[in-house]
Amino acid sequence: MTEHSATPKKEKSRFGLILHLHPRKVRASTLRFSLTFGLGGMAALLMVMQVVTGLLLKFHYEPSPENAYNSILNLQESLLFGKMLRNIHHWSAIAFVWIAFLHMLRTAFTGAYRPPRDVTWITGMALLLLVVLSNFTGYLLPWDQLSYWAVTVATSLLSYIPLAGEPIRKVLLGGAEVGQPTLTNFFNLHTGVIPLSIIALMAWHFWRIRRAGGVIVAEKDRESPMVDTRPHLVNREFVVALVLFAAILLISSLFDAPLRERANPAFSPNPAKAPWYFMGLQELLIHFHPVFAVFVLPASVLAAAVWMPYVKSSDANYGIWFLSDNGISSAKTAAAAGALFTVIFIMSSELLPDPEALLPAVPPLLTTGLIPFIIVTSTMWLFIKYMRRRFSLNRSELIQSVLVLMVVSYAVLTVTGIFFRGEGMNLAWPWNI
Ligand code: HEM
Ligand code: HEM
């Protein structure tokens, strides 16, 4: 007899798919909202909303530089609920990045990335990258000034990746600059390859969660009683889904997705900024040699995230937020340190003399690449030593502190890039941009 066959027939037909994704019974302790905040479920719902609204948009949208912009104008102005449909797709896309990111933090801060959840964590990382890529490929489709130049800036970052960067950029653009082949490529990636990959990875992600015996629970709650998935879990998920749906509808009726004038390849706005989720990278580019800003640093972070589950630490309180009281205090210190270091870093590279001008005989890869990289990694090493001594952290708590520091640091870089960079990407107050 299978797990599901004990479910009454009528109930099974009405809730077949939902119950199929869940075990028949779950531990009562996993139902606590504050354990997961329903973030994984919200991400799944957002994916469904993107596919449904995306397919409807596809009926009207024309992927050619001549017609794309007009098809969006026409969709917004002449089609019943056309504007609403576009708004929902736009705001859900942004919410998708945020929710997936917060879900990543939740799993990290409850120690849920360790085996047997290591593959869940790694498939999650891949999902987050794909969600960002689907945002990025969708960004070009309206073919307005904002999308054209944001994609031009962001794809130009690719050419700094050693060896593979330029060929990847050329294949993606289908030529030397953003044009018809780029739009065709982005459209096919956006409406075919990426969503299908997300769906396949989501299936793997869900299967791994089931295989690990559901979401993580603290040692003390492992013996809590088993309760029926329906109504206990399904009803809660339903409430979370309704609240999310209502919030997206509200935002979509209050705020319109931006649409500037039609793309003009001959006129570049100043400053030309990448989409918001890449602004941290564009900000890094101001301070580091491009090879370090868009390759060495992001690749190191990615490698560290994949390696994270396998760092041995026997004494962590998995399933408990921030792992311990010590974990909470150290996370707060790490957040403050991340903000402070990053502001000092931005200001010092603004105020100190340009190292390239100071040492013209030394290759820029050293002056603005390797040397600042060594300074940053040594600061990180000193920080780890300090945290170890100050809080006597175990390895899981230490990983958590480094993660907090990096997340806060990227947030400061992103906020600086979006709100404090004006003409020529110089520092400016937000009201002067
Ligand atoms: C994986 C989830 C998806 C995300 C995160 C996403 C994101 C986006 C974004 C950010 C835009 C630009 C919206 C704007 O103009 O502000 C967009 C546009 C568009 N997307 Fe998606 N999308 C997703 C899935 C899909 C799917 C599955 C389809 C169709 C099969 C689709 C079709 C379209 C179309 C036709 C447009 C152009 C219309 C417009 O810009 O308003 N999308 N998407
Ligand atoms: C499309 C994006 C994603 C979807 C639809 C999704 C879905 C889910 C769901 C439904 C759960 C179980 C309930 C919950 O924890 O809320 C879950 C658990 C998990 N997810 Fe995701 N997820 C996504 C992205 C990510 C990302 C970006 C990461 C991390 C990098 C991640 C790592 C994990 C881990 C480690 C678990 C196990 C948590 C535990 O056992 O407590 N997921 N995911």
Q: Which two tokens stand for residue 77?
A: 């102005």
Q: What is the mean pLDDT of residues 46-64?
A: 97
Is any ligand 2 atom within 6 A of the Cβ of residue 86? no
Ligand 2 center–CA 361 separation, angstroms = 50
Is any ligand 2 atom within 6 A of the Cβ of residue 36? yes
Atom number, ligand 2, closest to the C-alpha of residue 125: 30
Closest CA to 271 of 431, 414, 427: 427
Residues counted in the chain: 433
Ligand 2 center–CA 41 separation, angstroms = 8
Please enumerate in sequence order all residues whose Cβ is within 8 A of that of 277, keeping only pairs 6 or more positions apart, or say none: 97, 132, 135, 136, 414
Contact between 179 and 65 (Cβ < 8 Å): yes
Burial of 390 (0-12, 13-18, 19+ CB in 10 A): exposed
Q: Outline where 352-370 has alpha helix (H).
A: 355-358, 364
Is any ligand 1 atom within 6 A of the Cβ of residue 149? no
Closest CA to 127 of 50, 200, 201, 194: 201
Please enumerate in sequence order all residues whose Cβ is within 8 A of that of 343, keeping only pairs 6 or more positions apart, or say none: 412
Ligand 2 center–CA 319 separation, angstroms = 14
Cβ atoms < 10 Å from Cβ of 241: 16
Residue 25 φ then ψ, to 5° = -130, 150
Is any ligand 2 atom within 6 A of the Cβ of residue 41? yes
> What is the rounded radius of gyration, in angstroms, for the C-alpha atoms of the chain?
24
CA-to-CA distance for 281 and 294, rounded, in angstroms? 7
pLDDT of residue 16: 63
Residue pLDDT, tens place only, 140-197: 999 999 999 999 999 998 888 888 999 999 999 999 899 999 999 999 999 999 999 9
> If pLDDT is split at 50, 70 and 90, which confidence band does 15 have?
low
CA angle at 80 for the pair 79 and 81, rounded to the nearest 5° = 105
CA-to-CA distance for 56 and 198, rounded, in angstroms? 19
Ligand 1 center–CA 333 separation, angstroms = 39
> Which one of 34, 37, 114, 120 would you pick to mutate in the ligand 2 pocket, going by the greatest count of ligand atoms within 8 A of its CB?
120
Ligand nearest to the CA of 134: 1
Q: Which two tokens stand for residue 223?
A: 């013996």
Q: What is the mean pLDDT of residues 400-413?
A: 97
Instruction: Tell me the percentage of the chain whose pLDDT exceeds 70.
Output: 96
Is any ligand 1 atom within 6 A of the Cβ of residue 54? yes
Q: Which two tokens stand for residue 138?
A: 């969708």
Burial of 351 (0-12, 13-18, 19+ CB in 10 A): exposed
CA-to-CA distance for 433 and 425, rounded, in angstroms? 10
Is any ligand 1 atom within 6 A of the Cβ of residue 65? no
> If pLDDT is split at 50, 70 and 90, which confidence band does 4 have?
very low
Contact between 99 and 42 (Cβ < 8 Å): yes
Residue pLDDT, tens place only, 76-103: 999 999 999 999 999 999 999 999 999 9
Is any ligand 1 atom within 6 A of the Cβ of residue 191? yes
CATH for 15-257, options being 1.20.810.10, 3.90.1010.10, 3.10.105.10, 1.20.120.80: 1.20.810.10
Atom number, ligand 1, closest to the C-alpha of residue 61: 35
Q: What is the mean pLDDT of residues 190-212?
A: 97
> If pLDDT is split at 50, 70 and 90, which confidence band does 5 have?
very low
B/e letters for 86-124, b = 16+ CB within 10 Å, e = fewer, are: bbbbbbbbbbbbebbbebbebbbbbbbbbeebbbbbbbb
Is any ligand 1 atom within 6 A of the Cβ of residue 135? yes
CA-to-CA distance for 201 and 284, rounded, in angstroms? 30
CA-nearest residue, atom 15 of ligand 1: 142
CA distances 432 to 261, 417, 420, 427, 429, Å, are: 22, 14, 9, 10, 5
Ligand 1 center–CA 75 separation, angstroms = 14
Atom number, ligand 1, closest to the C-alpha of residue 136: 10
Ligand 2 center–CA 313 separation, angstroms = 22
**What separation, in Å, do the N-terminal and C-terminal C-alpha atoms of the chain show?**
66
Ligand nearest to the CA of 101: 2
Q: Helix crossing, 82-109 with 229-254: angle to 10°?
A: 130
Burial of 261 (0-12, 13-18, 19+ CB in 10 A): exposed
CA-nearest residue, atom 39 of ligand 1: 142
CA distances 345 to 131, 366, 415, 429, Å, are: 30, 18, 14, 18
Contact between 368 and 358 (Cβ < 8 Å): no
Say yes or no to pLDDT of 286 above 50: yes
CA-to-CA distance for 329 and 314, rounded, in angstroms? 20
Ligand nearest to the CA of 82: 1
Q: Which two tokens stand for residue 41?
A: 């479920």
Say yes or no to pLDDT of 308 above 90: yes
CA-nearest residue, atom 31 of ligand 1: 54
Ligand 1 center–CA 190 separation, angstroms = 7
Q: Kindly report the pTM of this predicted structure.
A: 0.93
For the chain, give the mean pLDDT: 92
Atom number, ligand 1, closest to the C-alpha of residue 57: 35
> Which one of 42, 190, 259 would you pick to mutate in the ligand 1 pocket, going by the greatest count of ligand atoms within 8 A of its CB?
190
Ramachandran region of residue 322, left (φ > 0), alpha (ψ -120 to 50) or beta?
A: left
Is any ligand 1 atom within 6 A of the Cβ of residue 190? yes
Kindly list the domain boundaries of the chain, sorted by start residue: 15-257, 279-433
